[in-house]
Amino acid sequence: MTQNPAPATPSATLPAVPAVRLKVLDAMAEEYVRDQRPANTTRAYAADWKVWVRYVTDLGIPEDSATAGALVGFVVWLEKQDAAPSTIDRRLTGAVVGLRQRGAEPAKAVTSAARAALNGYRRRLAEAGEKRGRGEAAAMTIKDLRAMSAACPDTLSGVRDRAVMLLAFSIAGRRSEVAALLVSDIVEAPEGLVVTVRTGKTGGRTVAVPYGSHEGTCPVRAWRAWLAASGITGGPALRRIDRHGRVLGGLTGQSVGTIITKAGERAGVAAHLTGHSARAGLATEARRAGHDVKTISAHTGHAPNSAVLFRYMRTVDQWSDNAAAGIGL
């Protein structure tokens, strides 16, 4: 297997003056770290920077404006467009990354001021009982999965859709992680499947997927059924299918999300499910089954102290670990 070469040692090409050397090293480090970002993150930052450029053009200020007035103004500008706080948060992060890449990194006090403005917007929305955006993805439940699996049509696409949603759920996969799976990443073992997630926001991980106790929601059986029906032996694990029933190239992350959303709608699931619902659902259902943080985080790839992971688990813990329970109310 051909491997990417390690980055060359820069010492031979650095200038002689120490201060200049440091500047060159900083630039090289920034470029190297930028190259390690997942493609979808790079695309998102590029989209955020385009919004920033529209903003500074609208105000008639330079693109590299990294002052408190510029960044707080960006928050207010987006707020006036009724953007969701989560959208503003992402746009602000992308703008700061873009400024940093152009040598105009905002001071910590500047970004703190912009975050304070954003928090003020969140608070006003909460006090007014208003919402912007869809909010967090609904967690897919086991009940949802059973309904979705049963509603899959008896076609090649139906077999594929069942494999997509059951693999996504069982590995707690982000949609991009599910789309990137290769046939060689999914290895059968006596106990089930060993799935290698090669890329992700927090790096790769290996996930053991046991046999399910219900045939209709068993990820191992669903994977075997897809392999048999599609006839694939290598390359992308999950594929597009054209209207003639021909198996084509691999899915994109967006198409994984679309398959899950449509499967939920087809089954009449009340919640609006998205590509992230499978990941949130595994964490939630695992907690409901009594698994601890260490076990769940090892499976999902979250840091054990992840605020997002604790938010998932809190939906279960709020009832089992409740200060108002058992006090005689």
- Is residue 102 within 8 A of residue 64, CB to CB? The reply is yes
- Given a cut of 90, is residue 95 above it in pLDDT? yes
Distance CA 279, CA 255 (A): 16
If you write DSSP's letter for every residue of 167-210 in order, what string do you get? HHHHTT--HHHHHT-BGGGEEEETTEEEEEE---TT--EEEEEE
DSSP 8-class letter at 236? B
Binned at pLDDT 50, 70 and 90, residue 16 comes out as: low
Q: Selecting from 3.30.300.180, 2.70.150.10, 2.170.190.11, 1.10.443.10, what CATH number does the domain 142-319 have?
A: 1.10.443.10
DSSP 8-class letter at 212? P
* The domain made up of 16-128 is a member of CATH 2.60.120.10: no
Tokens of 126: 């909460």
Residue 306, pLDDT score: 83
Interior/surface letters 67-87, b for 16+ CB within 10 angstroms, e for the rest: ebebbbbbbebbbeeebbbeb
Mean pLDDT of the chain: 88
The average pLDDT across 50-71 equals 95
Ranking 127-136, 182-191, 219-228 by mean pLDDT, the lowest is 127-136
213-217: Cβ within 8 A, 24+ apart = 214/146, 216/146, 216/149, 216/150, 217/142, 217/145, 217/146, 217/149, 217/166
Binned at pLDDT 50, 70 and 90, residue 309 comes out as: confident
User: Any idea where the domains of the chain sit in the sequence?
Assistant: 16-128, 142-319
What are the backbone dihedrals phi and psi of residue 236, each rounded to the nearest 5 degrees, phi first?
-55, 135
| pTM (2 d.p.) | 0.69
Give 166's contacts (C-beta < 8 A, 6+ positions apart).
145, 149, 212, 217, 218, 219, 222, 223
- Is residue 248 within 8 A of residue 119, CB to CB? The reply is no
- Is residue 279 within 8 A of residue 300, CB to CB? The reply is yes
Place of tokens 């259902």: 285
% residues pLDDT > 70 (the chain): 88
- Is residue 316 within 8 A of residue 309, CB to CB? The reply is no
Beta strands in the chain (DSSP E): 186-189, 192-197, 205-210, 239-241, 247-250
- Is residue 142 within 8 A of residue 99, CB to CB? The reply is no
- Residue that wins the pLDDT comparison between 12 and 25: 25
Tell me the C-alpha to C-alpha distance, in Å, between residue 239 and each of 116, 162, 179, 248: 45, 13, 9, 6
- Where is mean pLDDT largest: 25-34, 41-50, 99-108? 99-108
- Given a cut of 50, is residue 1 above it in pLDDT? no
